[in-house]
Amino acid sequence: MAPVAVLTGALVLAGCGSEDGKDSAAEVSVSGAYMPQPVSESMAAGYLTVTNKGGAKDELTSVTSDVGDVTAHETVDSSMQEAKDLPVPAHGQLVFKSGGNHLMFEKLKRKPMQGETVTVKLHFTESGTVTVKMPVKSATYNPKTGH
């Protein structure tokens, strides 16, 4: 009977992740969003982390905001270029951070100031639209130290 007992145990373990029956669906959430107060009147950058807890990949197809035009940029060999359809892997992350991928705000209608909040909508293939309240921090804000 011993081999049967082992097999049963393995099946129970494998079933753990699908208790809610949605294990295959993408499930994205956003954390750590912030915008350093821009030095420019017309352009700004924004950073955040998209986490996908689901078992299927998702894709960030576009970003919109009421303060101006937004595009996702990636940094390649220290020059930046527009990125389209950024993947969010299953059980993975899509990270926008200083020196890497970033959200690029252009044609700003007003200059965001420290203490304000900018509303950003992230549009995903699977998860639809996720609205993010992005706080404006100081121009030199460092998320690692919180200053």
Question: Which residues form the interface with Cu ion (CB under 5 A)?
Answer: 73, 80, 104
Residue 120: CB atoms within 10 A of its CB come to: 23
Shortest Cβ 5–Cu ion spacing (Å): 57
Q: Which of 125, 123, 122 is nearest to 48 (CA)?
A: 122
Q: In this chain, which residue has its C-beta nearest to Cu ion?
A: 73
Nearer to Cu ion by C-beta: 73 or 137? Answer: 73
**CB nearer to Cu ion: pick between 94 and 104:** 104
- Residue (104 or 122) nearer to Cu ion, CB: 104
Beta strands in 1-146 (DSSP E): 28-36, 44-52, 58-65, 69-76, 79-82, 86-88, 93-96, 102-106, 117-124, 128-137
Q: Are residues 52 and 91 in contact, defined by beta-carbon separation less than 8 angstroms?
A: yes
Write down the least CB distance from residue 43 to Cu ion, Å.
Answer: 8
CB of 129 to Cu ion, least distance (A): 22
For residue 72, the minimal CB distance to Cu ion (Å) is: 9
